[in-house]
Amino acid sequence: MANLFNKMIGRTRYVVFRLFLHLGGGEVAPILGILNSAGRDAIDADGDLEVLGEGLVEISQTLLQYDEYWLSAANEGDVFWSEGEAGDYVNELFTDSAERYLSEPDYTSDSGLNEPLSIPVTRNVIVMITVAYEGEVPELETDLSNVQALKEGLKALINLHYKQRLKAIQVHFSPAQLGDELTSDQLLQYYPELIPL
């Protein structure tokens, strides 16, 4: 009833959404390159929403191309009628994602650039995408723990960028640094919300 009332009086509906996607297998390491590149671009752009949106599109398209490696997923979110409350929830999810195991990249370090390259190939990658947007997007406001719904959700994220309805974009991933490895035990411990696809 409150939803209907708020729509009738013309209030803006804000949705804050977070997606967890776990990819697994020996071929998932290239995804880390795309994620790191988008992260560097986001830092260089100093939070410019257009640049962040282009990065989100590239990440979403890459994830769609790697769908055979999707193992589990989860999503959560909430609806707000106040931009301030939506912003607070974005910050809460940002903090939670950043504190997850191995999700903090180091873009400043040059250490190891001249060392021989012998690192373990990661077999697990977790991508955490948090966005805030205006309006309704049924493809995101549903359970995305099945492959078809997840594909529709990623396409909806791309469309939100092109329709210029995104208000905030954050992407975290684990492992965030080359050479770090995310084990199956660590997945269970630090990402308990994941549901097998």
Q: Give the pLDDT score at 112.
A: 43
* CA distance linking residue 81 with residue 79, whole number of Å: 7
Question: Structurally, how many domains does the chain consist of?
Answer: 1
Domain residues for the domain of 23 are 14-107+120-196
Q: Is residue 4 part of a domain?
A: no
Nearest to 90 by CA among 176, 186, 172: 172
Give per-residue pLDDT as tens, 114-157.
444 445 667 899 999 999 999 999 999 999 999 999 999 999 99
Residue 142 lies in a domain: yes
Does residue 159 fall inside a structural domain?
A: yes
Q: Is residue 133 part of a domain?
A: yes
pLDDT of res. 183? 86
Q: What is the pLDDT of residue 181?
A: 82
Q: What does the block give as tokens for 175?
A: 């492992």
- Residue 6 covered by a domain: no
Of 56-65, 98-107, 182-191, the poorest mean pLDDT is in 98-107
129 occurs within a structural domain: yes
Residue-wise over 162-171: b if at least 16 C-beta within 10 A, else e? Answer: eeeebbbbbb
| Report field, pTM of the whole predicted structure over 0.85 | yes
